[in-house]
Amino acid sequence: MNSKPDSFLKRLVGFFETEDVAEDTPRSDSRDFSKAPSSDSMESPAPRRLPAPQSEAEILDFLKRAPESALSKRQRRLIISAMSFSDTKVEEVMLERPAVTFVQDTEVLGPVVLDKLYKTGFTRFPVIDGTGRIVGTLSIDNLTSLAIKNPDRAFKYLDPSVFYVRSDYSLEMAFATFLRTGAYLLIVINKKNEVAGLLTLEMLIASLLGKIPRDDFSDDANRLAVLGRNINQNPPKTEQS
């Protein structure tokens, strides 16, 4: 029988927190065992504990050897990702500058431009002015149908807030930046103050969870709809990162 993810993680934490006593360790026990105990007083022996891992390498080896019936590939990835979250650098998961789609602030957001943006798979883009300076971000999810029918230039719809992280930040530091700023997109700079790429909240979540939750439900502002939603019949879908 497959274990539930949370129950396995609880056992795993217990495993890590267990201090193993070596079998050859002398016992300070002065009781007399010359007489065998009666069956009434005999207790079942305690289950044997495996040696607790002493290093990250031993933990990773334990995860590698665990059978898939006890630990799925997804559970394995979750644990390893959580372990490396504070060590993984932004530059390892960011979208590098050559692959970033920039929007000119004077660009008209007509059908052709919007189609090009939709095809990138992203919903937020950095907006630049004529000198190449980043002046804001554009979310195509926020464009109303009226705006699409009456195209206007990008600067009319941009959010002027721009937040930065450095490429050598850990993902833990980047996550703190997302929480602190409420941003969904961060511009990544290097130590030379050059734009090196961008990092989105979805990228960070995907690096941790391995999959991005996708949910067709969109009536979150309707209290009764949320109350009556059947989450077993229409659970959120996941998408491989």
Domains parsed from the chain with CATH numbers: 51-84 (no CATH), 91-209 (3.10.580.10)
Dist. CA 60–CA 83, nearest whole Å: 10
When comparing pLDDT for 226 and 217, which is higher?
Answer: 226
Q: Is the pLDDT of residue 9 over 60?
A: no
Give Cβ neighbours of residue 183 (< 8 Å, ≥ 6 apart).
Answer: 161, 163, 177, 201
Q: Please classify residue 235 by burial: count the beta carbons closer than 10 Å to its beta carbon, then call 0-12 exposed, 13-18 middle and 19+ buried.
A: exposed
Give Cβ neighbours of residue 100 (< 8 Å, ≥ 6 apart).
Answer: 126, 197, 198
pLDDT of residue 215: 80
**How much is the average pLDDT of 190-212?**
89
Q: How confident is the model at residue 190 (pLDDT cuts 50, 70, 90)?
A: very high
Q: Is the pLDDT of residue 3 over 60?
A: no
Structure tokens at 55: 């290093």
Please count the other Cβ atoms lying within 10 Å of the Cβ belonging to residue 188. 24
Q: Is the pLDDT of residue 71 over 60?
A: yes
Mean pLDDT estimate for the chain: 77
pLDDT of residue 80: 66
The answer to whether residues 213 and 241 touch, using CB atoms and an 8 Å cutoff, is no
DSSP code of residue 168: T
Q: Is the pLDDT of residue 203 over 80?
A: yes
